[in-house]
Amino acid sequence: MRPVIIIPARLVSTRFPEKMLHKLDGVPLIKRVYDACEDMDIPTYVLTDSMKVAQASGAAALLTPECESGTDRCCYWANTNALATKYDVVVNVQGDLPDIRKEHVEAVLEGLTTDRVSTIYADIDDSDRDNPSFVKVVHNKKRAKWFGRGITGYGHHHIGVYGYHMNELRQYRNLKKFECEDLEKLEQLRWIMNGVDIGIRKVKYHGCEINTPEDAIRWNVERENPLVKMTRY
C-alpha cells in the first residue's frame, strides 16, 4: 500500500465556531491533529477552504473549494490534484480528533486489506449513548451496517477515521445521495445506501472529540488530571 493521511478541515462550524483555530493547551486544534498524524511516518496533508486554518495547521495545506463534508473534500482532491496519483489508499482523519494515535490509523489500513472502505469503533460509555455528538455504529464485527446520532440503546462509538482505496474515493461523487445522509449529517451513509461495504475494526480509544466548547474544556481538564473524567454534554 502507498497510504496518505488527509485531514479535511473547514473554518465554519455550527456548534463550535472556528473550532479548528481553538487552542488546546496553547496549540490550535488543527495543528494538534496534524502533528499527531505527521508523527506516524505517513505523508500527511490538511485540506481546507480557509487560509486561517491552513496557516494555523503548520502543515503542507492544500486549498479546496467549500465542500459539504470531509469525504466530499477528499473526493475533490482525489479527482483534481496530481499529487493523489502518488498514493493508492487514503486515510481520512477528522480534524476534531486531537487524541488520534498510530494504532487507529493502522487498524483502518488493516481494514483496507479486505474492503474498499474501512473505519474503526470503540466501546461507548452508557452516559454517551444519548449524546448526538457521539456517532453510534451498528455492525457485525466485520462490517458496518448503520451509523446514527440518535438514542439507540445499542451500538458502539464510531471514531471519525476512514480509509478508502483511491479508485473508490474518486467514485464517491457519482454515488446517489439519500435523505438519511442529510438527516443524520453523516456522509458515510452514502456508501451504505449504495451497497458499498465498510470494513470495521475495534480499537481502544480514550480520547476526546472536540465538537463543542464544552468538549474543549473537558479535554484540558482531563489532560491536566488523567484521573478525572468529566461528564460529557
DSSP string of 147-188?
A: EE-S--S--EEEEEEEEEEHHHHHTGGGSPP-HHHHHHT-TT
Is position 144 within any domain?
Answer: yes
How many structural domains does the chain have? 1
Around Cβ 179, how many Cβ atoms within 10 Å? 9
Q: Report how far apart, in Å, the C-alpha atoms of 93 and of each of 45, 96, 104 are.
A: 10, 9, 10
Tell whether pTM > 0.85.
Answer: yes
**What integer pLDDT is reported at residue 127 of this predicted model?**
72
The answer to whether the Cα torsion of 201, 101, 62, 54 is positive or negative is positive
Is position 133 within any domain?
Answer: yes
**What integer pLDDT is reported at residue 150 of this predicted model?**
77
Q: Give the integer Cα–Cα distance in Å for 2 and 17.
A: 35
Is position 230 within any domain?
Answer: no
Q: Give the integer Cα–Cα distance in Å for 13 and 220.
A: 20
Domain that holds residue 147: 3-204
Decide: 16 and 210 in contact? Cβ < 8 Å. Answer: yes
Is position 170 within any domain?
Answer: yes
**What integer pLDDT is reported at residue 98 of this predicted model?**
94
Q: Give the integer Cα–Cα distance in Å for 85 and 187.
A: 24
Is position 215 within any domain?
Answer: no
Tracing cell 487514503 back to the chain, one arrives at 90
pLDDT tens, the chain, 233 aa long: 899 999 999 998 878 889 999 999 999 999 999 999 999 999 999 999 999 999 999 988 999 999 999 999 999 999 999 999 999 999 999 999 999 999 999 999 999 999 999 999 999 887 777 777 789 999 999 999 999 987 666 789 999 999 999 999 999 999 999 999 999 999 999 999 999 999 999 999 877 789 888 888 888 887 776 555 544 43
First to last CA, the chain: 39
Q: Domain of 122: which CATH number?
A: 3.90.550.10
H or E stretch covering 143:
none
